Amino acid sequence: MKKLVTISSTLLGVVFLAGCGQQPVSQTQPVVPAPVAQQPAQPVTNKQANSNQKTFQDASLNYTINYPSDWSFKKDGNADMITVSFSPSSSTPFSVDIDSIPTSVAITEKEVIDFVAAAKQEYSNPGEKVYDAKEFIYTADDGSISKGQQLKADYTENGTKYRVWYIAVAKDKTLQAWRYVSSVDEYDKNYDIALGMLNSWKILK
């Protein structure tokens, strides 16, 4: 799904500009993302989860999430952004993906709004549609709240109509972008799986 790759690259620039207060980047004051320790991700058994689920956890990404036991995940990226994609197989028309984008300074609510506004612009081509753009509230286990943004959009790529549910929330110096993307025909069929994964998503810090 090449369009999502393009969007992620565009949004990466938005986060970097936000991290320096929307000021131009000069050669003497470069925006440097926080280094990411490349530690192996491991699926582990979650005793509190359904027996048909596994739990993904990676200390370098600061989150955990449950996913179906017959799915697999792929981790890709670099120090600027790490993407973890969960799906039944590489050929399926749906997946749940999480982009983790570290910065050198804490990310504000306004910068999350700008991040999602940039995503919205990427779906402005003829025949594409954005809807349900609104605030997203993430509540941590300790009761603390982080205000994020979300949207849904329809688009066409290589003759296939897709629908994406996109959520962005910041926690200190990392912006986490969760998304469920599926062919429109399969979206409702697999929605409950995606929602269950979203509800199990725990941002650790």
3-state secondary structure of 201: coil
Q: Which tokens go with 17?
A: 């500009």
Query: Residue 38 domain-assigned?
Result: no
**Residue 163's CATH number:** 3.40.1000.10
User: Global pTM?
Assistant: 0.77
Higher-pLDDT residue of 2, 57: 57
Q: What is the mean pLDDT of residues 95-120?
A: 93
pLDDT at residue 89, as a whole number? 77
Cβ neighbours around 125 below 10 Å, total = 9
32-69: per-residue pLDDT in tens?
A: 334 434 444 544 444 444 568 999 998 889 899 999 99
Overall number of domains in the chain: 1
Is it the case that residue 19 has pLDDT exceeding 90?
Answer: no
Query: Residue 119 domain-assigned?
Result: yes
By C-alpha distance, which of 204, 185, 3, 4 is closest to 96? Answer: 4
Is it the case that residue 153 has pLDDT exceeding 50?
Answer: yes
CA 18 to chain centre: 17
Query: Residue 29 domain-assigned?
Result: no
